Amino acid sequence: MKFTPTSSHRRARFFSGKNSINLLLLLLPAIVFGGLLGYYQSASIGVRLFVLSLIGIYPTLVFIQVYRAHSIYHRKTLLYGTLSVVWWLIFAVHSTVLSASWAVFDSSIDAFFIVQAVANTTRLEAMEFVQFHWHKIAFLIALLCVCLYGYFWMLLRYFDVDSYVSAKPTWTHKTLFVLFVILCVAAYATKPNRKNAPMFFWYNYYAKIVDFQDELKLHQRWHKRWQQQAISDIIATDDRHTQTHIIAITESLTSENFGICGYPRDTTPHISALQNELMIYCKAYSPYATTINAVKALLTDMPAGAPKFVPTQSLLTHAKQAGYQTYWISNQDDSYLSSLFGSLADVAIYHNRLSGRSSFSKDEGLLPHLHNALADTHTKKLIILHLIGAHPNYSARYPDRFERFPDDNKGADQIDAHFDRQNFGSLTRQARDEYDNSILYQDWMFAEILKQLKNDTADNQSLTFVSDHGNEVGHVKDYAGHSDHSEAGYKVPLIVWQNSPNARTGIEQGRLVDTAELNNHMLMRMGILTKSGQPLPWSDHAYQFAPKAKFPYWQNNKKTE
């Protein structure tokens, strides 16, 4: 039987009191599930889930209309009722599981340590987990069922179909509806939003588990090969002196924006104050513009221009073979690097529990872990800090107290003139300000790391501060982010401090330096003599930049990402 509104119904307003309640009832599941995840994880993720779930309003609305016009047993009622229940149940489970991960572990469920645990869990261990926690799991399932039942009970009881059907929307309401449809379509059309939808999220999560298991097997084979190479390659080690060496690998910093290297803004006040103790290379170049390949080139024998190259040796395995206690202390949740290098270290610490641009974890969170590593009683230590540096988005990389630019006008005229000449937009200008703030914070981080190292009592000490790669932030393009086609994507700061009285200091503005040689330079600095001999130090006047691929990389690169 078709529903026909009466004359009094035809006069109902679209946004009357009853229709406002109708709208609230339709939006309620999306508000709850998005709000729950927004509370535990982040507001932005909660809003994305809210928008992604809104498609469920359509089958819910059709279900109510058909139910009122016919009965619960009508074919359409059963179809749309089932679609509606399944849709909201999927989002309910998704939101609950992700929120529980933050509530219990204070971490995203796809953080490295959770992925690692899941990937290494056998079926028997999974069954034991379910048996041990069955009462909690049963309670959550029951709670979800009760909540969904309660929602549909309220929907059927309080949703006023008469007011909805009789209401005549204005052009304003029709426009809002079109915008609503566009918003839903856009949410699924854009990858950063779409990946938060349950069906895409869990498909990718399963793929990540499988990929991690494959990478783990591959990396274990690499580790064995590296260990064999270290045994055969090392000729002698310095066992007469105690040693503490720190490598701070920061992220996405280009020396183009370092005040100490000539940038008009004073982004490096601490480094400038310490320059008489440091060797600063302003024209160091990373062979890759992406993190994984760049870090592999820093810590292994991987050459430039060969992203498929399988490394034959690693600084970590050579250090361990030479008697060093090794540490991997990371503020990046990168499962690949954690598997390749973190699992190889004697001590691995992961401070960041959320990956990529979504993370707000600050690098200073590593300082207590560094303090503990320095307090370790081992006589020979290699400590690798993997900072999140200036990884986009830049505004998330520094505390509020480092928000100096653009309020600090020093150097602003030159920067503004550059942007005006290039006719770059306001978004790139804002990104440049935020990027400079993140560099200011990294300058402070460098000083804090060095301060802790100076309190160490080892005979030989060194700190090497280097960025994996750079970033293009309005240097030659109206763009902010990773770039393999501009110099700023490869040009990085390289800063070395040593407690040796013979260590050379100064600012090297002219000579080019290859950061891919870090592996061999550290072996020499750590007193590890190998069959391949000792490289010429970067600080030596006879040193020459000799990359193994065509340079400049940004002009001759092939797609390696």
**Burial environment of residue 99 by CB neighbours within 10 A (0 to 12, 13 to 18, 19 or more):** buried
Which single residue is written with the structure tokens 């119904």?
Answer: 9
525, pLDDT greater than 90: yes
Percentage of the chain with pLDDT > 90? 59
Residues 189-218: tens digit of each pLDDT: 888 888 999 999 999 999 988 887 888 889
pLDDT of amino acid 10: 45
146, pLDDT greater than 50: yes
Reduced to 3 states, what is the DSSP secondary structure of residue 379? coil
Please report which confidence band the pLDDT of residue 389 belongs to, taking 50, 70 and 90 as the band edges: very high
Q: Return d(Cα 200, Cα 197) in angstroms, integer.
A: 6
The string over 167-199, giving b where at least 16 C-beta atoms fall within 10 Å of a residue's C-beta and e elsewhere, is: beeeeeeeeeeeeeeeebeebeeeeebbebbbe
pLDDT of amino acid 212: 79
Reduced to 3 states, what is the DSSP secondary structure of residue 339? helix
Q: Return d(Cα 138, Cα 141) in angstroms, integer.
A: 5
pLDDT of amino acid 453: 98
Q: Return d(Cα 453, Cα 78) in angstroms, integer.
A: 69
Residues 444-453: tens digit of each pLDDT: 999 999 999 9
pLDDT of amino acid 167: 64
128, pLDDT greater than 80: no
pLDDT of amino acid 122: 65
pLDDT of amino acid 356: 58
- Select from 461, 144, 449, 526 the least CA-distant residue to 271: 449
How many other CB atoms are found less than 10 A from the CB of residue 63? Answer: 24
pLDDT of amino acid 437: 97
389: left (phi over 0), alpha (psi -120 to 50) or beta: left
Which single residue is written with the structure tokens 């013979």?
Answer: 502
Percentage of the chain with pLDDT > 70? 92
How many other CB atoms are found less than 10 A from the CB of residue 146? Answer: 10
How wide is the angle at C-alpha 384 spanned by C-alphas 283 and 229, nearest 5°? Answer: 95
What's the whole-number mean pLDDT along residues 395-420? 90
Cis previous bond, 552, omega within 30:
yes
SS3 letters for 106-129?
CCCCCCHHHHHHHHCCCHHHHHHH
Q: Return d(Cα 405, Cα 473) in angstroms, integer.
A: 15
Which single residue is written with the structure tokens 């993997």?
Answer: 386
Query: Letter for the amino acid at 394?
Result: Y
- Select from 176, 175, 192, 173 the least CA-distant residue to 52: 192
Please report which confidence band the pLDDT of residue 560 belongs to, taking 50, 70 and 90 as the band edges: very low
What's the whole-number mean pLDDT along residues 125-133? 73
506: left (phi over 0), alpha (psi -120 to 50) or beta: left
pLDDT of amino acid 191: 85
Within 139-205, strands assigned E span none
54, pLDDT greater than 50: yes
Average pLDDT score over the chain = 88
Integer CA distances (angstroms), 503 to 66, 440, 480, 538, in order: 82, 26, 37, 11
Q: CA 210, 212, 215, 219: dihedral to nearest 10 degrees?
A: -140
pLDDT of amino acid 17: 64
Helix (H) or strand (E) run with residue 245 in it: strand 243-250
pLDDT of amino acid 120: 63
pLDDT of amino acid 352: 87
Please report which confidence band the pLDDT of residue 561 belongs to, taking 50, 70 and 90 as the band edges: very low
69, pLDDT greater than 50: yes
How wide is the angle at C-alpha 110 spanned by C-alphas 106 and 112, nearest 5°? Answer: 85
**Out of 44-48, 401-405, 424-428, 537-541, which region has the weakest mean confidence (pLDDT)?**
537-541
Reduced to 3 states, what is the DSSP secondary structure of residue 64? helix
